[in-house]
Structure formats: structure tokens, C-alpha cells
Structure 1
Amino acid sequence: MTVRLRPHHLLCMLTFVGKGYTEAFTENYIRIAARLSAGEDIVVVEGPDDVCGPMLGEPGMHCLSESVTDRDLKASDAVEALLGVSAGPGSSIRPSIDFLQRMRAAFAQGSIRDACERCEWSPLCTGIAISGFDDVLVVATAGPPPCDPG
């Protein structure tokens, strides 16, 4: 099985500590974090993904807004620049130790955070990065390379 993630959720997963928009959203994301930590691959998708599921149909849902689509484009560009592989829709990524370490180091340095601009969660994520990513729920064990260059 694979976890379907939109590009900006490649950044969000780096700092997820069990907080979210609603209880259903948070419980769903905790299950996804466990799947990623167990080594399930990621397939990058366009639009709402597995994380968005509980929010679909909610009043004020932002999953389809232009600002979120822009956030996805910025995140995809940043991840591609960092890793040197495609991070757009259809790309496959393995959340290995190497992948998470490289992504978290770049996130902490701010070099892949253009997509986080104006995100309501940015202050929380900044604090988590400053703390050394303590208590994050997406962790990984050693495994194959982080990305499928195909």
C-alpha cells in the first residue's frame, strides 16, 4: 500500500506531533504517521489526499483553494531542488531515515519553507524544528533510497 500525499504535506509530515484542525483530522493523521513510520511509500498526488480526507465536506474547507494549490507547487519545487528528483503528482517517495533527515535539516534551515508562508501552523512547526523535532510522529528505520528517480 501507499500513502497518498499532496506536495505540501511532504513538509507538514516533518513536524506532525498529533495536533490538527479537528479530532477526526488528527486521529486520521496519527494513523497515516504510523503507516509512514512503518515504511509505506508515498505517492504524490494533485489535490486532496489521505490527510485531507476528514476535512472534505467541512464548512470552510480549504483543500481546494488556490492558496493551497500554490502551496503544493512551492513545496514540490523545494523538494525537487533539495533531492534532485521529481516531487510532483505521480512521484513515488520512500520516507526513509535519509529522506527524513535531509528534509528536516533543510526545513530547520528554512530552505524548503516557502510553501509554509501564511500557514496558520507555521509557528508550531518552527517551534518543533527549533526543538530538534522532538515528539514528531513520522519516524523511519533504515531502508532503500528515499526516491524512485523514475
Structure 2
Amino acid sequence: MYKLRGHHLFCLLGYRGMGYSKEYVENMTRLHQTLRKNPKTWIKLTLGPDNLCEKYPNSGKYHCQDVHIYERDAAILEKLGLRIGQILSWKDIESLITLHVDPSDIQTLCKSCFWKSYGVCEEGIRDIHHGKGLREVK
């Protein structure tokens, strides 16, 4: 079972092998590919730092504890109708994304995210809507 915070549910949709450091990318790729290959993997929704934050580089201010990140987490969980502590499969999360999220929601839910400008998260949501699941990262 993986512990994930709210906004990382969307980050996984747009993940294309880029990240903050080599160690972060390796960790994110491993988790992403596990979910892609086995969407029945269990996820526990957590408040604050999660299994992805564990490998965020320590380079000054700890991004994972920023108030804006907590706000983004809460907004995304609310959009999906989820709550902290809930345990569900990645497949269930994809189903909720299909039901409740439009690609354009990224523009408001993730408006201050550095990665938003790449357009990959909207693309990831469209993939989920078309039943494609997570993209393979090479």
C-alpha cells in the first residue's frame, strides 16, 4: 500500500519522467509504473508528506510542508469526493477522476503549480477518460 497526498493523485497522471532530482525521479517512476501495471494497488490518502515527498530533495525550504500544497491537496480531494485516511485502489481513483474531473480543472486546481505549463496533466486526465490509464514512462 502506498500513502499519497491529494495533489499527487494528479501529478501521477501527468508524470513523464521529469522531477526535482535523480532520486525523486527514480522513486516517482517506480511508484507510477507499479500503479500503471497493477491498478488494483491500494492507496491510503494522507495529510502532508507521503511516499513521494520522502525523496524530495532537501535544498532549503521544504516544499512538501508549504501551506499552498496543503490547500491544493484539499481542493483535489474535495473535487474527487475523497477524504484523508481513506483507502482505495488506484483503479477506483481513476474511476473518480473520470466521473468528477475535466482536463480544464487543472487550470484552477493546480494554478500555482510549476509543472502546469507543460500540459501533461490535462493530457493525463484525457487518457484516463479514454480508459488508457497511466502512460508508460521510459
Report the TM-score range of the alignment, normalised by the length of the smaller protein. 0.7 to 0.9
TM-score (norm 1): 0.72
Residue 73 of structure 2: aligned partner: 72
Greater helix content? 2
Matches within 5 A, 1:51-66: 51-55=52-56, 57-66=58-67
Residue 108 of structure 2: aligned partner: 114
CA-based RMSD of the aligned residues comes to 2.6
Deviating runs (4+, > 4 A) in structure 1? 130-135
Residue 8 of structure 2: aligned partner: 9
Q: CA deviation at 1:28?
A: 0.4
Structure 1, gaps ≥5 residues long: 81-86, 139-150
Q: CA deviation at 1:21?
A: 1.2
Matches within 5 A, 1:1-150: 2-37=1-36, 38=38, 39-55=40-56, 57-80=58-81, 87-96=82-91, 99-100=93-94, 103=97, 106-108=101-103, 110-111=104-105, 114-124=108-118, 126-127=119-120, 129-130=122-123, 132-133=126-127, 136-137=135-136
TM-score (norm 2): 0.77
For 1:92, the aligned partner's letter is I
Equivalent pairs counted in the alignment come to 128
For 1:117, the aligned partner's letter is K
Structure 2, gaps ≥5 residues long: none
The alignment-based identity, stated in percent, is: 23
Tell me if structure 1 keeps the 8 A contact 2:11–2:121: no
Cα gap change, 1:129 to 1:53, in 2 (>3 Å) = same
